[in-house]
Amino acid sequence: MSIPVKEPTERLPSVMPTDMAIAMFDEEARKTTGLSGEEFICRYDAGEFRDYEDVPEGRELSYLIMLMPFGRIKP
């Protein structure tokens, strides 16, 4: 006996919208560092977070650094 499978009538987006991605990164940056997403990226690019592995917050900074492509998206 087979069970018929219904196809979804509405497809979900496969990519996060740009404004949502930037807002998500900004929120995570503010929670982790107290900086806006844009300011965090500027300071990271300037080398301010070079030794982040050696600080107690290193794991949170690693997570935030991994999310940086979401913050670098330009609308």
Residues 64, 33: contact at Cβ < 8 Å? yes
55 assigned to some structural domain = yes
Question: Domain total for the chain?
Answer: 1
Its domain, for residue 64, covers 18-71
13 assigned to some structural domain = no
44 assigned to some structural domain = yes
Render 12-46 in DSSP notation, one character per residue.
Answer: PPSS--HHHHHHHHHHHHHHHHSS-HHHHHHHHHT
Phi-psi label, residue 47: left if phi above 0, alpha if psi -120 to 50, beta otherwise: left
Question: What is the per-residue pLDDT for 3?
Answer: 73
Q: pLDDT tens for residues 32-70?
A: 999 999 999 999 999 988 877 777 778 888 899 999 999
